[in-house]
Chains A and B, each alone.
Chain A
Amino acid sequence: MSKIIVMTSGKGGVGKTTSSASFAAGLAQRGHKTVVVDFDVGLRNLDLLMGCERRVVFDFINVINGDARLKQALIKDKRVDNLWILPTSQTRDKDALKKDGVEKVIEQLKDDGFDYIVCDSPAGIEKGALMALYFADEAIVVTNPEISSVRDSDRILGVLSSRSRRAELDMEPVKEHLLLTRYDTNRVQLGEMLTVDDVLEILAVPLLGVIPESESVLRASNLGAPVILDETSPPGQAYSDAVGRFLGEQVAHRFITAEKRGFFHRLLRRTA
């Protein structure tokens, strides 16, 4: 039974695509056949983060329009088994996403035996974002610890509970998870960012994981490798923990409080 996961946020630039790439890679690493689908038509980025931009021939929109078969558009990841990428079109816009077309592609992916279909949503609450979340069984809401991101997440949670297919058909609601990204414990300590508890109090959604702010995320993007593959980096570990929790493992939260030896650490770093 395939599960459709949407990675969404409302606000842009919070880390949806980064999270989609790492989350899908994490699921695949654990042996689940996974595909990550780029819904950000016109602003194609997922393939860059996955390092497969030079292998794109056909895309999601071609498949929707019947110009290509799904098999022709799916790109198999070279590093992780069980992982496929369905890139989107850079030349079209969100209007190319027709509900019945998207449904057709998702049904085909299900028939192909994918365990997880990760939908990387564009920002906003318009057509692209609506199409990305419409068929979802579970939603991972990506939020940064700052008020505008939290409010937009709240808005998208409302959209999920009213405009998804599950809501429209009066089925069991979309299962919601919160992924707090770009969490900077030092700035939280200084009161410059919201704390995990602040965000949880406002959104009241179970916490899937906290991804610490780190330069390794940008490095991974530029390398075209999901940061989860950088197993020594804090964000890589945090994503791996989050994937574990998603699959029902009991994993304690890390990276929420500032490092205990922070003072010496900073001192050493400064002198180094």
Chain B
Amino acid sequence: MNVASPKKAPGGGAAVPEDLVPFKLRGGTFTLLVLQLIDLKNPNFFHWLLDKINQAPNFYRHAPVVLDLQGLAEAGPFNFAELARRLRQHQLVPVGVQNGTEEQNRGAVNAGLSVFPMWRESQSVPLPGEATAKAAAGAKPAEAQEAAGTAGDKTPGKPPGKKEPPKGNKVVIQPIRSGRQIYAQGGDLVVLNTVSAGAELLADGNLHVYGALRGRALAGVSGDTSARIFCRSLNAELVSIAGHWIVRDDIDEDLIGREVQIYLKDGDLAIEPLI
């Protein structure tokens, strides 16, 4: 991911005195986002991409990205200019490609993108947390890729395209007001305050809420069926574990206002008072 340009500007033929040159050419090292393209034909491609961007709009806004074409080796040629235009619409700035076929590289250059050197998966710097996930998933690389999103994720057949760069746990001290959405990517979300009606909590791991929980709470959003929700006072509009959800109307009235844990028991959502 580190890109180093030449350290020294290539000298021209004629010697121009250094202080007369109207620019300076220097090398720089940048960390770039790599967008691994797996299936461009998927009709939900941009829909899901937008979801991802909306989780951290400031982080992704105008972020330069390198397109990794490894997964598209058999896909043949496609319209780079159109793809770049769509990405720019989503506020990503495509700057180059890597791991493309020769034909794809030519297309990329024609579309104004540069070609980055070949880069294999094994060379890429593991993001924090990924190493442990890989270790947990064993030796098989395919499995490692699937589990990279959440350590301990046991969902089989999760599309590798949904792989998340793990970011770890998140702790929020302030009240979470109506309309806010907080996502703990690749970890647990701990909220020490009230979660208002109309607010939404999301975590790849577990959810802990120590104030009143009045909003929506979704744990294991990347498919971790072992994720749980713990709260001090249950009054949620909706709770969900790994896509299994229940709304306020369907929650037993006896459990409202109680300290409970919510988890998946044989594929069903169980809400139990804490001892």
Interface residues of chain A, those whose CB is within 8 Å of chain B, are 125, 151-152, 154-155, 157-159, 161-162, 201-202, 204
A164, B259: Cα distance in complex, Å: 35
With both chains docked as a complex, state the minimum distance between the C-beta of A177 and any C-beta of chain B, in angstroms: 15
**Majority DSSP secondary structure for residues of B touching A:** loop
A159, B179: Cα distance in complex, Å: 9
Cβ-defined contact, A154 with B196, below 8 A: yes
With both chains docked as a complex, state the minimum distance between the C-beta of B191 and any C-beta of chain A, in angstroms: 13
With both chains docked as a complex, state the minimum distance between the C-beta of B173 and any C-beta of chain A, in angstroms: 11
Cβ-defined contact, B178 with A155, below 8 A: yes
With both chains docked as a complex, state the minimum distance between the C-beta of B201 and any C-beta of chain A, in angstroms: 13
Cβ-defined contact, A154 with B174, below 8 A: no
Cβ-based interface call for B197 (8 A): yes
Within 8 A of A (CB), among B170-184: 174-180
With both chains docked as a complex, state the minimum distance between the C-beta of A203 and any C-beta of chain B, in angstroms: 8
Residues of A within 8 A of B198 (CB): 151, 154-155
Interface residues of chain B, those whose CB is within 8 Å of chain A, are 174-180, 193-194, 196-199, 212, 214
Partner of B180, one of A125, A158, A202: A158
Q: For residue B176, which residue of chain A has the nearest CB?
A: A158
A158, B182: Cα distance in complex, Å: 12
A174, B254: Cα distance in complex, Å: 38
Residues of B within 8 A of A162 (CB): 180
Residues of B within 8 A of A152 (CB): 178
A116, B96: Cα distance in complex, Å: 53
Q: For residue A160, which residue of chain B has the nearest CB?
A: B177
Residue of A154, A159, A162, A202 with highest tally of chain B CB at under 10 A: A154
A201, B194: Cα distance in complex, Å: 10
With both chains docked as a complex, state the minimum distance between the C-beta of A169 and any C-beta of chain B, in angstroms: 14
Extra 4 A-B pairs, beta carbons < 8 Å, given A158-B178, A159-B177, A204-B193: A151-B196, A154-B196, A155-B177, A158-B179
Residues of B within 8 A of A159 (CB): 177, 179
Residues of A within 8 A of B177 (CB): 154-155, 157-159, 161
With both chains docked as a complex, state the minimum distance between the C-beta of B183 and any C-beta of chain A, in angstroms: 15
CB-based closest 10 A-B pairs: A158-B177, A154-B178, A155-B178, A155-B179, A154-B196, A158-B180, A157-B177, A154-B177, A158-B179, A151-B178
Q: For residue A157, which residue of chain B has the nearest CB?
A: B177
Residues of A within 8 A of B179 (CB): 125, 154-155, 158-159
Q: For residue B175, which residue of chain A has the nearest CB?
A: A204
Partner of A204, one of B178, B194, B199: B194
With both chains docked as a complex, state the minimum distance between the C-beta of A161 and any C-beta of chain B, in angstroms: 6
Partner of B174, one of A155, A161, A202: A161
With both chains docked as a complex, state the minimum distance between the C-beta of B210 and any C-beta of chain A, in angstroms: 13
A158, B198: Cα distance in complex, Å: 11
A-B contact pairs, 9 of them (CB 8 A): A154-B178, A154-B197, A155-B177, A158-B196, A158-B199, A162-B180, A202-B214, A204-B193, A204-B194
Q: For residue B215, which residue of chain A has the nearest CB?
A: A154
Partner of A151, one of B176, B193, B197, B212: B197
Q: For residue B174, which residue of chain A has the nearest CB?
A: A161
Residues of B within 8 A of A157 (CB): 175, 177
With both chains docked as a complex, state the minimum distance between the C-beta of A170 and any C-beta of chain B, in angstroms: 13
Residue of B196, B199, B212, B214 with highest tally of chain A CB at under 10 A: B196
Residues of A within 8 A of B212 (CB): 201
Q: For residue A161, which residue of chain B has the nearest CB?
A: B174
A158, B196: Cα distance in complex, Å: 10
With both chains docked as a complex, state the minimum distance between the C-beta of A126 and any C-beta of chain B, in angstroms: 13
A162, B180: Cα distance in complex, Å: 9
With both chains docked as a complex, state the minimum distance between the C-beta of A172 and any C-beta of chain B, in angstroms: 13
Q: For residue B211, which residue of chain A has the nearest CB?
A: A204
A157, B180: Cα distance in complex, Å: 10
Q: For residue A202, which residue of chain B has the nearest CB?
A: B196
With both chains docked as a complex, state the minimum distance between the C-beta of B45 and any C-beta of chain A, in angstroms: 30
Q: For residue B214, which residue of chain A has the nearest CB?
A: A202
A158, B197: Cα distance in complex, Å: 12
With both chains docked as a complex, state the minimum distance between the C-beta of B170 and any C-beta of chain A, in angstroms: 15
Residues of B within 8 A of A158 (CB): 176-180, 196, 199
A151, B215: Cα distance in complex, Å: 11
Residue of B174, B176, B179, B199 with highest tally of chain A CB at under 10 A: B179
Q: For residue A162, which residue of chain B has the nearest CB?
A: B180
A214, B117: Cα distance in complex, Å: 75
Q: For residue B177, which residue of chain A has the nearest CB?
A: A158
A158, B215: Cα distance in complex, Å: 14
